[in-house]
Amino acid sequence: MAKQPKELTDLFHETLKDIYYAEKQILRALPRMAKNAQSEELRQAFEQHRSETEGQIERLDKVFDLIGKAPRGKTCDAIVGIIEECKEVMEDFSGSAALDAGILAAAQAVEHYEISRYGTLRTWAQQLGLEEAADLLSQTLEEEKRTDALLSKLATGQVNAKAA
């Protein structure tokens, strides 16, 4: 029997599973990042983003429902790698003035990955005529952009200066 060629709907679903897994891993990593942050502002940013991440997972559940698929993740090697790097920074720089800069840099790597994924998923949802899914993905995309902007502000406003 001939194998069916994959289509954009398949790619959308696979990428959705990827970001679902990533969000679940991020949700698990954020409390440790907050606990290790020396800056109160950075700690608060991680705690706030943890709450947002919970809402983002709920939105992803809705997107899965809209396409008639069960919410399920698949291993996202990119996020696994970024989180491992963050763990290394937290271990290697514990007690160092550079710790917050390292944690923040890892958090921004996560945000940039998420921004890329959510932007792509939103565009594909629009292409596939999944307007409600596109709207849900857009909400999350905007949250990720705001988090990235906040992290940039913290980095340039205080965290990197303290690390120097």
Amino acid at 83: I
Is residue 164 scored above 90 in pLDDT?
no
When mean pLDDT is compared across 2-6, 119-123, 148-152, the lowest value belongs to 2-6
pLDDT, one tens digit per residue, over 88-102 is 999 999 989 899 999
The pLDDT, as a whole number, for residue 5 is 85
The pLDDT, as a whole number, for residue 97 is 84
Give dist(CA 39, CA 55) in Å, integer.
25
The pLDDT, as a whole number, for residue 4 is 85
CATH class of 8-163: mainly alpha
- Cα–Cα distances (Å) from 14 to 114, 160, 163, in that order, read 15, 37, 39
**Residue 53 pLDDT level (bands cut at 50, 70, 90):** very high
**Residue 31 pLDDT level (bands cut at 50, 70, 90):** very high
Give dist(CA 159, CA 101) in Å, integer.
6
The pLDDT, as a whole number, for residue 158 is 84
C-alpha radius of gyration, the chain, whole number: 17
Give dist(CA 157, CA 128) in Å, integer.
42
Give dist(CA 160, CA 97) in Å, integer.
9
Give dist(CA 68, CA 49) in Å, integer.
28
Reported in sequence order, the residue ranges of 8-54 that DSSP labels E, i.e. its strands, are none
pLDDT, one tens digit per residue, over 135-149 is 999 999 999 999 999
Q: What's the average model confidence in pLDDT over 5-26?
A: 96
The pLDDT, as a whole number, for residue 1 is 67
pLDDT, one tens digit per residue, over 115-132 is 999 999 999 999 999 999
Q: What's the average model confidence in pLDDT over 43-51?
A: 94
Amino acid at 78: A
Find out whether 100 and 33 touch, Cβ atoms under 8 Å. Answer: no
Is residue 27 scored above 90 in pLDDT?
yes
Which residue pairs, CB below 8 angstroms and at least 24 apart, start in 148-152? 148/108, 148/111, 148/112, 148/115, 150/45, 151/45, 151/104, 151/107, 151/108, 151/111, 152/108
